[in-house]
Amino acid sequence: MPQRMRPAHIALAVAVTAVWGVNFVVIEVGLDHFPPLLFSALRFGLSAVPAIFFVKRPKVAWKWVIAFGLTLGAVKYGLLHTGMRWGMPAGLSSLVLQIQAVFTTVFAAMFLRERPGGRRIAGLAIALGGIVVAAVAHGGGGPVGAFVLIIAAAAAWGVANVITRKASPPHLLSWMVWISAVPVLPLLALSLIFEGPRADLDALAAIDLSGFGAIAYAAGVSTLFGFGAWGYLMSRYDASSVAPYSLLVPFFGMSSAWVFLGEAVTVPSVIAAVLVVGGIAVSASGRAAAKKAAQPALAASR
């Protein structure tokens, strides 16, 4: 049976998922100040540069550090921030990203020879149905290209999860600090190419307190505090005790977007959320399934 968590640690787990959910609102604020690729670079730069001098490099081969850093940092977050800049709502983005569980299962079967059981497949099919509902609802009110970019970001997250399984980093915080350093220069180069030096310089010259606060929250609170606290919980309890709390991220993402950004909570979005979260919960139910689901949950929607 999963270990019973202490009330203080349950509160910490909920606080982390709240931080990760609210981060989607913070991203919207950041994208009001910076081009998406530049914002991604600044976010990871602030996460890694101060901390990398105090945190030892994880005992993992460099190829995995580089592969994960590029896949998660440059590809996933580049696509996520660009999709949100193109018009994908923050709350819906926090939900749609959870389809990474489907991509992770497919890629793990292809490359790691993991064979999901019937319950896991059924749960992921339910979650996929929720994404279809979200896609149909969004199709009438937003750019289809933005929705596709978020799906692509979820696919990149699935690839990153498989890389993490192969790497098996022993310490989550040091892993996140060092992989955060990898995408900074590639993202800056991509920003200069696609967003232009003028746009980048104008954004940096016009930075104000809210713009800096968005970067600081995404880097310090969502990444360093979030993953540090999550890693602490994972070190004390079974994965099956901690991982299910990551299902609260879409709840906090959608509710905070409603409160702070005025995003409407429609009937289709509620149905989609119930299907996605419920399907992933079914997929992860049981001790064995939860252990396999733990690693994807570690990177939940920062």
Boundaries of every domain in the chain: 7-298
What per-residue confidence (pLDDT) applies to 288? Answer: 45
Compute the CA torsion angle 103, 281, 287, 173 (nearest 10 deg).
60
Size of the chain, expressed as the number of residues it contains: 302
Nearest-angstrom CA–CA distance, 2 and 155: 29
Q: Which structure tokens are listed for 190?
A: 């991509």
Cβ atoms of residues 147 and 135 within 8 Å: yes
Inter-residue contact 182 to 58 (CB < 8 Å): no
Cβ atoms of 298 and 172 within 8 Å: the answer is yes
Per-residue model confidence as pLDDT tens for the chain (302 residues): 556 888 899 999 999 999 999 999 999 999 999 999 999 999 999 988 877 888 888 889 999 999 999 999 999 999 999 999 999 999 999 988 988 888 888 888 888 887 888 888 888 889 889 888 888 877 656 688 999 999 999 999 889 888 988 888 887 778 888 999 999 999 999 999 999 999 999 999 999 999 999 999 999 999 888 877 887 887 788 766 777 788 788 889 999 999 999 998 888 888 988 998 888 888 766 444 444 444 444 444 45
Say how far apart CA 72 and CA 299 lie, in whole Å: 9
Q: Is the dihedral of CA 178, 158, 280, 94 positive or negative?
A: positive
Residue 240 structure tokens: 């099956």
Phi, psi of 80 (to 5 degrees): -60, -50
201 by Cβ neighbours in 10 Å (0-12 / 13-18 / 19+) ranks as exposed
CB atoms within 10 A of CB 55: 17
Please give the biggest Cα pair distance in the chain: 57
165 in helix, strand or coil?
A: helix
Burial class (CB in 10 A: 0-12, 13-18, 19+), 212: middle
CA distance 250 to 270: 11
Long-range contacts, stretch 190-195, CB < 8 angstroms, 24+ apart: 190/37, 190/74, 190/78, 191/35, 191/37, 191/38, 191/41, 194/37, 195/35, 195/36, 195/37, 195/38
Residue 302 carries which side chain, given as an amino acid letter? R
Alpha-carbon gap, residue 276 to 292, rounded angstroms? 18
Which pTM does this prediction carry? 0.86
Q: Which two tokens stand for residue 242?
A: 């901690």
- DSSP structure class, residue 75: I
pLDDT at residue 140, rounded to an integer? 56
pLDDT at 298: 47
